[in-house]
Structure 1
Amino acid sequence: MRIILVGYGVVGKGVTTILAQKYAEKVKDYGFNPKIVAISDIDGAVINPRGLSPEKLEAIKQRGYPISADPEFGNPGINALEVIESVEAEVVVEVTPVNIQTAEPAISHITKAFKTGKHVVTTNKGPLALAMPALTELAEYNNVYLRFSGTVGGGTPMLEFAKRCLAGDKIKAIRGIFNGTTNYILTEMSQNQVGFQDALSSAQKLGYAEREPSMDIDGFDTACKVVILSNWIMGKKITLKDVDRTGIRDITLQTLTEAAERGNTIKLIGSIDDNKPTVKPTEIAKTHPLCVSGVLNAVTFSTEYAGEQTLVGRGAGSIETAGAVLRDLLDIKHKLANRMLNSNLESYK
Structure 2
Amino acid sequence: MKEYKICIIGFGAVGKGVAKAISLKKDNIKEKYNANLKIVAAADSSSSAISSDGLDEELLLKTKEETGKLESYPNFGGNLNGMEILNEVDYDILIDVTPTNIETGEPALSLTLKAFEDGKDVITSNKGHLAIKFKELIATARENNVQFKYESTVGGAMPIINFVQETLNSCEVESIIGILNGTTNYILSRMTTEGSSYINTLNESQELGIAETDPTQDVEGIDAACKTVILANSILGVDAVYSDVDVTGISQITSEAISLAKKDGYLIKLIGEVSKEELKVSPRLVKQGSQYDLNGTLNMATVKTDLAGDVTVVGKGAGSLETASAILTDLINVIKMK
Give the TM-score, by structure 2 length: 0.95
Q: Please tell me the residue identity of whatever aligns with 2:48.
A: A
Quote the residue 1:309 is aligned against. 311
Quote the residue 2:26 is aligned against. 23
Residues 28-82 of structure 1 show CA distances to partners (whole Å, capped at 9, x for unaligned) of: 1222211111112333322111222346435534543332243422233x22112
Residues 114-156 of structure 1 show CA distances to partners (whole Å, capped at 9, x for unaligned) of: 1111110111111111111111111111111111111111112
Residues 129-184 of structure 1 show CA distances to partners (whole Å, capped at 9, x for unaligned) of: 11111111111111111111111111121212211221111110100001111111
- Displacement, 1:328? 0.6
Residues 185-238 of structure 1 show CA distances to partners (whole Å, capped at 9, x for unaligned) of: 111122221111111112112111112211111100100110111111111111
- The one of 97, 111, 126 aligned to 1:95: 97
Q: Please tell me the residue identity of whatever aligns with 1:21.
A: L
- The one of 38, 41, 45 aligned to 1:38: 41
- Identity of matched residues, %: 39
> Which has more radius of gyration?
1
Residue 37 and residue 266 in structure 1: after superposition, are their counterparts in 2 closer, same or farther (change >3 A)? same
Contact 1:290 1:300 survives alignment (8 Å) = no
- The one of 125, 131, 134 aligned to 2:133: 131
Question: What secondary structure does 1:33 align onto?
Answer: strand
Q: Does 1:5 find its partner at 2:8? A: yes
Gaps of 5+ in 2: none
Residue 66 and residue 58 in structure 1: after superposition, are their counterparts in 2 closer, same or farther (change >3 A)? closer
Residue 44 and residue 54 in structure 1: after superposition, are their counterparts in 2 closer, same or farther (change >3 A)? closer
Q: Please tell me the residue identity of whatever aligns with 1:42.
A: S
Contact 1:121 1:328 survives alignment (8 Å) = yes
Contact 1:223 1:278 survives alignment (8 Å) = yes
Question: What secondary structure does 2:337 align onto?
Answer: helix
Contact 1:20 1:57 survives alignment (8 Å) = no
Question: What secondary structure does 2:271 align onto?
Answer: strand
Quote the residue 1:149 is aligned against. 151
CA RMSD, Structure 1 to Structure 2 (Å): 1.5
Gaps of 5+ in 1: 337-349
- Displacement, 1:105? 1.2
Question: What secondary structure does 2:312 align onto?
Answer: strand
Cα distance in 2, alignment partners of residues 332 and 182 from structure 1? 32
Quote the residue 1:343 is aligned against. none
Contact 2:5 2:92 survives alignment (8 Å) = yes
Quote the residue 2:292 is aligned against. 290
Matches within 5 A, 1:113-132: 113-132=115-134
Contact 2:236 2:276 survives alignment (8 Å) = no
